[in-house]
Amino acid sequence: MTSTLRAALGSVVVVAALALVGCTSSDDRDAPPTPASPSPTAPQELTPETIRTVPSDRVFPGGLAVDPDSLASRAQVQLEAAGDDEQASAAGVIAAQPVAMWIGDGYDAAQLVSVVTTYLDAAEEQGSTAVFVTYAIPDRDCGNYSAGGLTAAEYPAWSQTIADTLSGHDAVVIVEPDSLGMLDRCPQLAEERIPLIRQAVEGFEAAGVPAYLDGGNSNWVPPRTMAERLRAAGVEHARGFFTNVAGFYPVDEEREYAERVSALTGGSHFVIDVSRNGRGWKGTWCNPDGVGLGQEPHVAGGTRGLDALLWVKTPGISDGTCNGGPEAGAWYPSYAEGLVSRRSEKDD
């Protein structure tokens, strides 16, 4: 999981029917013709030409899938076996929601295909859309708690394998959280990183897979700077961008910010992570006290640029070895319990 976030402001730009025919009898030859019923409109296909223009319910047909083998569901089983009923119950609350699946650099090609396909199969059984997160960009997290990633030579083939596996399926990809926002902290990575992201996004576009790029959050990178980075990283080949991943800012703040970025990037659509923003920002990004689950994830009604409110960050896993937490990506049972107990009751 990500430890993500928070850096100083700055700018990096890198130059990128069948018509039904009825038989009439002699008795009704003189009757006025019956108007033909209109043919149902087929869903618009997702192609490189339509990814940015179709309505949100076509990007997320059937709504959001629930991963039956999520980190939360596995934690629930383990906690029940250990007799920790309250913490198991909290994990179960999280497991019942559609949470994005994160794909890191710990798989070989065959394992990568298997992991992605397994979730796709589960989503198709539900008649809904799987949401994936790619998280293996070189020098991920700029050496912080979630440091790691592939090499620049390995990354393109890794990302293309995911694109090829998703092709022809209902799926969405959140591309590399923090990869653009964090360039203030490690600007030396921009020259290598931005072309890698652009290549990945072009691969998803060619496969007919809607992708969203890193848009930071409302209290990080100024909209104009973020728009410059998004354009350089190929946002015109993506559905749009995401904000607030692993963050805590309220929806209204994020939406106002995202609409400004959207206007600067040709009307890009956007999604907002609401997994842990139920109580707002508490002064730190790393396992902060007093935070709660946000509203339940759902596809938006198509108003303006907002496509969906998602749980991208998996609530209940640690941001890192801070504020008493285990290593980044490990389940944090007491923290999950607190998130559930302080969940938002707001239903936007």
Which one from 67, 139, 307, 319 is the annotated catalytic residue? Answer: 319
Structure tokens at 41: 């409109």
Are 297 and 321 in contact by the 8 Å Cβ rule? The answer is no
CA-based nearest residue to 158, from 104, 92, 93? 104
Which one from 141, 184, 214, 273 is the annotated catalytic residue? Answer: 141
* Beta-bridge partner residues of 311: 99
Contacts of 183 (CB under 8 A, 6+ apart): 7, 10, 12, 189, 190, 193, 229
Q: Can you give the length of the chain in residues?
A: 348
Are 257 and 309 in contact by the 8 Å Cβ rule? The answer is no
Q: Is 141 a catalytic residue?
A: yes
CA-based nearest residue to 64, from 126, 125, 117? 126
- As a whole number of angstroms, the distance between CA 116 and CA 114 comes to 6
Which one from 178, 184, 214, 307 is the annotated catalytic residue? Answer: 178
Question: Tokens 């393109």, residue?
Answer: 156
Active site residues: 141, 178, 319
